């Protein structure tokens, strides 16, 4: 058994009093023994203001951001362009100096324990960057060396298998497709086995099939205990993967809630009826509802589920003399919530 300043490592794996945590991502990182730590990342009152220059006026990028990202979660950070998402990631990675506030990564304060904090995260950047004269295997070996991972403990080929690049391990990176290069970036972020992965627009420019493969990779890593921080413009991606979501706009947190709670914020639903005859004159007979005729026999009714029950709409249609052939209901999705939150924060 070896100890490192409050860490306990046995046979290359981390132990604590409650359980033994074994996974692919715990071979190298000396994770602190903090028994009551429930958050992987804690951001408190974070501010960033870019000073005025000859070309630009002063810009407030982050305004009093506070976020708690639970351990073992897939946390989505959503917002329009320029909202401050990348600024938060760059501060965590040490690329941008914050103006004020505090950031803790795996309970390491980035001001007090900067090196340890950085070792606990792997960042997959939004921009594709690579050395065109290296192979994927050489790229991972170099990255592992920069993190000080001993050669005997490197798992470059295993990582390439995880991201689906085993067959291309000896090809030059410049010959890879855009999707492959993006998967290589994910592999490079994993070489030092961090307990937290930060994915900044990981599927931008990736086709549907590769996007699904990356989704499967993210789910697999999370199942092994890795905390995922995801920023994306694909709202269906956040809805598919994330269990907790924060929406930011103009450098401020608009909302931060569990996904299901967030989706429940919108009470408006729509129901589509296929009726037994022409519906051209139905709007006048159902003037109390928000109706839209979308076909000869198709009617869409939008309603507030807290005020109106769908049974009332069905009853009104039957009283008007219509028979119902088919009914389809639509729940609000993350895109509806996102648009409402962003528009309301922008107007406030």
Integer Cα distance of 34 and 21 in angstroms: 13
Domains of the chain with bracketed CATH:
1-36 (no CATH), 37-262 (3.40.50.300), 267-331 (3.30.70.980)
- Whether residue 31 is predicted with pLDDT greater than 50 in this model: the reply is no
Rg (CA), the chain: 25
Distance between CA 237 and CA 213 in Å, rounded? 12
Per the listing, tokens 């009617």 go with 299
Query: What does pLDDT average to over the chain?
Result: 83
- In DSSP notation, 281-318 reads THHHHTTTSEEEE-SSSEEEEEEETTT--HHHHHHHHH
With bands split at pLDDT 50, 70 and 90, how would you rate the model's confidence at 347? low
Average pLDDT over residues 191-207: 87
Above 60 in pLDDT, residue 26?
A: no
Asked whether the predicted pLDDT for residue 137 surpasses 90, the reply is yes
Smallest CA-to-CA distance from 65 within 75, 77, 80, 52 is with 77
CB 241 within 8 Å of CB 199? no
Q: Are 93 and 117 in contact (CB under 8 A)?
A: no
């Amino acid at each position: 058994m070896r100890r490192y300043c409050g860490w306990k490592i046995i046979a290359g794996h981390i132990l604590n009093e409650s359980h033994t945590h074994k996974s692919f991502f715990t071979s190298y990182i000396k994770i602190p023994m903090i028994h009551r730590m429930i958050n992987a990342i804690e951001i408190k009152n974070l501010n960033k203001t870019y000073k005025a220059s000859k070309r630009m006026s002063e810009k407030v990028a982050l305004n009093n951001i506070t976020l708690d990202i639970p351990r073992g979660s897939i946390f989505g950070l959503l917002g329009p362009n320029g909202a401050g998402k990348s600024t938060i990631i760059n501060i965590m990675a040490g690329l941008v100096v914050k103006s004020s506030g505090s950031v803790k990564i795996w309970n390491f304060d980035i001001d007090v324990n900067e090196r340890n904090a950085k070792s606990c995260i792997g960042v997959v950047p939004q921009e594709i960057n690579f050395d065109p004269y290296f192979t994927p295997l050489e790229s991972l070996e170099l990255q592992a060396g920069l993190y000080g991972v001993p050669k005997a403990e490197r798992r470059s080929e295993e990582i390439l298998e995880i991201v689906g690049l085993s067959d291309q391990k000896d090809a030059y990176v410049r010959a890879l497709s855009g999707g492959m290069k993006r998967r290589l970036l994910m592999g490079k972020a994993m070489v030092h086995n961090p307990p937290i992965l930060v994915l900044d627009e990981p599927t931008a420019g990736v086709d549907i099939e590769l996007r699904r493969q990356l989704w499967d990779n993210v789910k697999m890593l999370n199942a092994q205990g890795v905390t995922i921080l995801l920023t994306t413009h694909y709202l269906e991606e956040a809805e598919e993967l994330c269990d907790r979501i924060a929406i930011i706009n103009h450098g401020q947190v608009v909302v931060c809630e569990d996904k299901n709670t967030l989706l429940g914020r919108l009470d408006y639903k729509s129901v589509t009826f296929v009726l037994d005859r022409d519906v051209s004159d139905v709007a006048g007979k159902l003037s109390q509802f928000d109706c839209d005729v979308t076909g000869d026999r198709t009617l869409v009714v939008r309603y507030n589920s807290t005020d109106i029950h769908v049974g009332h709409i069905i009853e009104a249609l039957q009283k008007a003399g219509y028979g119902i052939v088919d009914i389809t209901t639509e729940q609000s999705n993350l895109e509806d919530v996102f648009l409402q939150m962003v528009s309301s924060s922008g107007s406030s």
